[in-house]
């Protein structure tokens, strides 16, 4: 008997929530980015699990696109971080409030 689909779904829900809690409690933008990656990975796990249990390869296609978008997002995000650090010499997310009205 194989592992039920629900186990994978619950595991990825837990991973996703760990990512959300990390975004809430961390103040270092790099660690916040890592938590976003964790959330994306949780969603990928869901996609692959559904893809296998419903025998539809579309889920795995979506995972490939999510990975490409994640790579693009990390490149742009870290570029923004480098330029913020160059201008302000501090990257605590609480101090970055330039656009606050």
Partner 1 sequence: MTGQLLFFAFLAAVTIVCGIAMILADNPVRSALYLVLVLFSVALLFLTLHAVFIAAVQIIVYAGAIMVLFIFVIMLLNLGTPERIVDRLKPQQALGPVLGVVFVILLAFIISSLPTGRQQPLSNTLTGPYEIGMSLFTANWIFPFEIVSILLLVAAVGAVMLAKKRI
What length does the chain have? Answer: 101
Return d(Cα 22, Cα 17) in angstroms, integer: 8
Q: How far is the CB of 84 from partner 1 (least distance, A)?
A: 9
Considering the rule CB under 8 A, would residue 88 count as an interface residue with partner 1?
no
Q: According to CB under 8 A, which residues from 5 to 44 bind partner 1?
A: 5-11, 13-15, 17-22, 24-28, 30-31, 33-35, 37-38, 41, 44
Considering the rule CB under 8 A, would residue 53 count as an interface residue with partner 1?
yes
The tokens of 76 are what?
A: 């742009």
Return d(Cα 97, Cα 101) in angstroms, integer: 9
């Amino acid at each position: 008997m194989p592992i039920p689909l629900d186990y994978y779904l619950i595991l990825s829900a837990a991973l996703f929530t760990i990512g959300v809690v990390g975004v809430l409690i961390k103040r270092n933008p790099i660690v916040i980015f890592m938590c976003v990656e964790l959330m994306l990975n949780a969603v990928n796990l869901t996609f692959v699990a559904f893809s296998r249990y419903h025998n539809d390869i579309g889920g795995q296609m979506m995972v490939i696109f999510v990975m490409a978008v994640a790579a693009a997002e990390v490149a742009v995000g870290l570029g923004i971080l480098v330029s913020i650090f160059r201008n302000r010499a501090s990257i605590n997310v609480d101090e970055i409030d330039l656009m606050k009205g």
